[in-house]
Amino acid sequence: MNQDRWDPEMRAFAAMMEQRGRAFPPVVLGMPMDAARVSNDGPGLTLAAGGPRLAESRTDWLSIRGRRLACRVHRPTTDKPLPVLVYVHGGGWVWGSIDTHDHIMRAYAQAAGCAVVGPDYALSPEAVFPQALEECAAVVRWVAQHGADWGLDPTRIVVGGDSAGGNLAMATALLLRETDPDLALRGLLLNYGVFDSRTDTPSYLEFATGHTLTQEKMDFYWRCYAPREADRLHPLAAPLRADLRGLPPCLLHVAELDVLSGENHAMEARLRDAGVSVEATTFPGVLHGFLRAIGHVKASDRAVAEAGAWLRRRLA
């Protein structure tokens, strides 16, 4: 990828993360997953400890679909029930955790004055479509039914996520629309999401061998998450193929220099055509995953501030 288009702060951040990554063995697609996750997530964990300190940050456990599922719960204040953002971490359905995205979740909690709940859903290829989706939907149902037990206002819920987490957030809303029609979400916060299983769009061709996320990696992630090719066409796996009518208002944040930028712009258009209220911002010069750079790249800080203001309006 031609770095002339990069935001200078993005370029410096990428160089810093490359340096940190040298402390870990290189990730080779197809290597044992436990070792690969240590190498992939390790550099990002060095970023996760920064950011705001909140009144309460803890890990709780839910019994979801036959297993104990950890949820990270952040609350900026403990003196009243708070509206909640259920935030689904990214990582190609293969990497990432509530630890790698802890800083991002706390940043949203502070910016929006809301609670943030992050589900540590089952990863692929050990768990394949639709397990992660069903777990995320079950967490949202639990918050809607029992959120008061955690100091949450179960009547005011937004679902959000980044990358594969954006995919799961959108799919969760689509699934709940059918299974729980009385569960009214206040909105969807969608950060550079995976919305289709095609990997031949113009942005894929332009950034195929780019930095952070490549066409080769996305092909690998899809094979892990949906090993059956037919599942990759399912509208709950590839939400760009879904009927989007009736979804709550959406905020889309798009990274300009990203293989996924094309399907994010297509999702914006599809949502508008379906009569869904949409606000969308494309951040120039930044790469996929740029929210990891909070505190290092001003565009990342602007994205959090914009999302915080939007969340306040949606959760008012």
Average pLDDT, integer, range 232-242? 98
Report the pLDDT value the prediction gives residue 70, as an integer from 0 to 100: 98
Report the pLDDT value the prediction gives residue 65, as an integer from 0 to 100: 87
pLDDT in tens, 247-282: 999 999 999 999 999 999 999 999 999 999 999 999
Q: What is the DSSP letter of 310?
A: H
- Residue 99 lies in domain: 3-314
Report the pLDDT value the prediction gives residue 31, as an integer from 0 to 100: 84
Q: What is the DSSP letter of 249?
A: P
Q: Which of 48, 47, 44, 4 is nearest to 24 (CA)?
A: 44
Model-level pTM?
Answer: 0.97
Report the pLDDT value the prediction gives residue 81, as an integer from 0 to 100: 97
Cis peptide upstream of residue 130 (ω within 30 degrees of 0): yes
> Do residues 139 and 62 lie in contact, with contact meaning Cβ atoms separated by under 8 Å?
yes
Q: What is the 3-state secondary structure (H, E, C) of 110-150?
A: HHHCCEEEEECCCCCCCCCCCHHHHHHHHHHHHHHHHHHHH
Q: How confident is the model at residue 1 (pLDDT cuts 50, 70, 90)?
A: low
pLDDT exceeding 70 applies to what percent of the chain? 99
Asked whether residue 10 carries a pLDDT value surpassing 90, the answer given is yes
Cβ neighbours, 10 Å, residue 121 = 28
Number of domains in the chain: 1
* Residue 17 CB-half CA count within 13 A: 24
Instruction: State the catalytic residues.
Output: 163, 258, 288
Q: 232 or 210, which is more confident?
A: 232
Q: How far is CA 12 from CA 16, 83, 100, 119, 201, in A?
A: 6, 36, 20, 31, 28
How far is residue 280's CA from residue 249's CA, in Å, rounded to a whole number? 11
Asked whether residue 30 carries a pLDDT value surpassing 90, the answer given is no
- CATH number where 72 lies: 3.40.50.1820
**Mean pLDDT over all residues of the chain?**
96
Average pLDDT, integer, range 184-208? 97
Average pLDDT, integer, range 64-77? 96
Q: Spell out where the chain has E strands.
A: 56-64, 67-75, 82-88, 115-119, 152-162, 187-191, 250-257, 278-287
Q: Which of 108, 218, 223 is nearest to 159 (CA)?
A: 108
